[in-house]
Amino acid sequence: MRETDEFSSVFRFRCSHRGGALDLLAAPNGLDIPRLGMIVPKKVIRTAVGRNRVKRLLREWFRLGQADFPGIDVIARLKAPGNERMLKSDFLAGIVACKTCVLSRTSPLT
């Protein structure tokens, strides 16, 4: 995801999970593929090398699990520096929580 409107629609949908170092937000996108957006602020990680490493890790974790959650947009927002293990646990827990939230709010009533 790159467009401001795409990010805004995920923020408006309000399915989120707060972790120790990482917040995840999700919304359905109407497509057959999941999409990832990342917010890694310069105030949290000062160096470009560090920010790019976090983004690379997030993309890889997302790629490995994307078959489990088709059709949703996910935004990962870094709020505090953390080690790789903490970021991964926050990301995986957030994905599960956001997936169940999106599915519960978009499933048709039968």
pLDDT tens-digit readout, 7-20: 999 999 989 999 99
Q: Delineate the domains of the chain, giving CATH numbers in brackets.
A: 4-102 (3.30.230.10)
pLDDT at position 2? 84
Average pLDDT of span 11-35: 93
The 10s digit of each residue's pLDDT in 40-82 is: 999 999 999 999 999 999 999 999 998 888 889 999 999 999 8
pTM, entire model? 0.89
Q: How many residues does the chain have?
A: 110
Label residue 30 by pLDDT band (50, 70, 90).
confident
Report which of 11, 83, 72, 18 is spatially closest to residue 45, judged by C-alpha positions: 83
Flag whether pLDDT at 22 surpasses 60. Answer: yes
